[in-house]
Amino acid sequence: MRRMNPALAMVACIPFLALPAHATTLMNWDLDEFVFQSRAVVTGTVSDVEVRAPEDGTVAHTYVTLDVEDVLAGAAVPRQVVLQEMGGRIGYRATIVHGVPVYRPGERVLVFLEELDDGKLRTLGFYRGKYTLEIDPDTQREMYVQREPSGVSFADHEVAAPEPEIRYQREDLEWTIRLAAGER
């Protein structure tokens, strides 16, 4: 049996070192931890989504304008906030960050807000900090829904990962958040 030269094997692997990573590792927090870690928890409607490329040529960001309807927990926020999320698509050029929440104009949402060092806001905990308000087709009740995107894993292997889709009745989730924040 012929053995491969170790130096040749290392050189053969070099092209694979430049391949992009396709996963994001998240903390598996429960709702209480999300409430505790957030600057505020708000409900609202997405009024605008815009992707901008910075002048310095670094990673594009998606700017989400959210018309705030209610602050369920945390600090007061203006009636309109702009979230700065990592990644986005401009023409044929895309920066994909797995696990970053996707927002659509007109979408009604519940969002856990995180304040960055520069004072800008973003969704806390990637997609885990965003719920979309939908009407359940069977019951016609308002439900907050969170769907797990591809390309994410969880750092805490001692705790079971969340379900791929989480659903809460609107009133139940809002009440649970207010209770966790001590603002019931």
Write the CATH number for 84.
2.40.50
Q: How large is the C-alpha radius of gyration of the chain?
A: 20
146: helix, coil or strand?
strand
What pTM value is reported for the model?
0.79
| Tens digits of residue pLDDT in 65-113 | 999 999 999 999 999 999 999 888 777 777 777 889 999 999 999 999 9
Q: Is residue 154 part of a domain?
A: yes
Domain region containing 108: 21-181
- Number of folded domains in the chain? 1
Q: Is residue 167 part of a domain?
A: yes
User: How far is Cα 143 from Cα 48, in angstroms, rounded to an integer?
Assistant: 23
Residues 99 and 24: beta-carbon distance below 8 Å: yes
Q: Is residue 45 part of a domain?
A: yes
Q: Is residue 30 part of a domain?
A: yes
Q: Is residue 12 part of a domain?
A: no
Q: Is residue 11 part of a domain?
A: no
Q: Is residue 118 part of a domain?
A: yes
Q: Is residue 16 part of a domain?
A: no
Tokens 């945390």 correspond to 74
The pLDDT of residue 125 is 93
